[in-house]
Amino acid sequence: MIYKDFQNLRLPMLGFGSMRLPLLPGGGDGDVDEAAVAEMVALAMERGANYFDTAYGYHNGNSERVMGRVLSRYPRESWLLASKFPGYDVSNIRPDRVEAIFEEQLEKCGVDYFDFYLMHAQNKDLFARYKQIHAYETVMALRDEGKIRHFGISFHDKAEVLDQILTEYPQIEVVQIQFNYVDYEDPSVESRKCYEVCCKHGKPVIVMEPVKGGSLVNLPEDAQKVLDVLHGGSNASYAIRFAASFPGIRMVLSGMGSTEMMADNCGFMKDFRPLNEEERLAIARVCAIFRGQGLIPCTGCRYCTEVCPQGIPIPDLFACMNAKKQFRDWNSDNYYHDVHTKNGAKASDCLKCGQCEDICPQHLSIRELLEDVAQEFEKQ
């Protein structure tokens, strides 16, 4: 594994993101397959990918528990653990909740300290809420007590908002941003501009969503043909190597869901090579194909489902819509009616409350998109 220096640490260029852990057969998002996770962690530790990223809400709160139990099998000094304060849940926006949640997270993970602790999913509105309850000050005080080794943010908004946050809180040590080759010049995500703001402030960057929730692994047929010509590795390898090629990037997090994914990722990051010119040109062609398809750029983070009062499985319905656009087959209708909405809410059940849009990291117009989904799948 290739490592990069970060203060007194050596960070692996590949980190293990635990938002998309393997699930038990037939289980829901909280039913994590702990045995499978243990196998993945064992391989990660063996290959030197010893940074593990989790959060309070991942897998209905079970990501922290599972990762804590599995990592407890290894000496504490042999791995790095990151978690995040979940201020996107309005019920937590109280001064007395910040430290209480932090202590709960320590207990869930079975640790005395976090190596990294981030303010989760920062955007303009959430930053204002965090300031109201002095969340930044509380977390920095916990760092001073030794319960947090390094303090940072994860970020989903425009570059100008990131610039504001880093200007107001220069104590931030690291920034986690969404960064991949499709979003690099996307005007709604502004990956490049956010990266440049981090460089301007001298902040090391940790990358999340390098394969855009799997979208850059399961490519449209035309895009797949472009990469097949290269004969240079998996689809994930091009996406992760793209992100890791930038000098300000300290680490790329990959939300791996199997030992096979772990082995592939660790394999091409063992002797990391930046993309060459031929590969960059191919990536540019893939980006053009994506732009031409008009797909919904949902990454499946499921933050929206946590706040939807109707319980609409929004990412699943958007996936059905994208599959219908790509393949125009009957199977998308089958999944919509017989799998995702059979015993739950449909797109047309949306109340237009807008809570989903407030929390969406991709800034999607979810209410309008659900109207499109309903028109496509629920027409008489």
Separation between Cα atoms, residue 23 and residue 340, nearest integer Å: 17
End-to-end CA distance of the chain: 55
Q: How far is CA 284 from CA 62, 168, 206, 325, in A?
A: 38, 36, 23, 22
Pairing of strands 3-6, 174-178: unpaired
pLDDT in tens, 50-89: 999 999 999 999 999 999 999 999 999 999 999 999 866 6
Q: What is the per-residue pLDDT for 294?
A: 81
Q: What is the per-residue pLDDT for 91?
A: 63
Query: Would you state the torsion angle of the CA atoms of residues 99, 140, 45, 253, taken in this order, to the nearest 10 degrees?
Result: 100
Domains of the chain: which residue ranges? Answer: 3-290, 303-377
Separation between Cα atoms, residue 304 and residue 301, nearest integer Å: 8
Q: What is the per-residue pLDDT for 18?
A: 96
Task: Determine the average pLDDT of the residues in 170-199.
Answer: 92
Task: Determine the average pLDDT of the residues in 180-204.
Answer: 92
Q: Determine the distance from the C-alpha atom of residue 242 to the mean position of all C-alpha atoms in its chain, rounded to a whole number.
A: 17
* Most confident range, picked from 246-255, 293-302, 310-319, 355-364: 246-255
Q: Give buried/exposed letters for 108-131 (b at 16+ CB in 10 A, else e).
A: bbebebbbbbbbbbbbeebbebbe
Task: Determine the average pLDDT of the residues in 181-201.
Answer: 91
Q: With 70 as the cut, is the pLDDT of residue 330 above it?
A: no
CATH number of 3-290: 3.20.20.100
Element (DSSP H or E) covering residue 266? helix 259-270
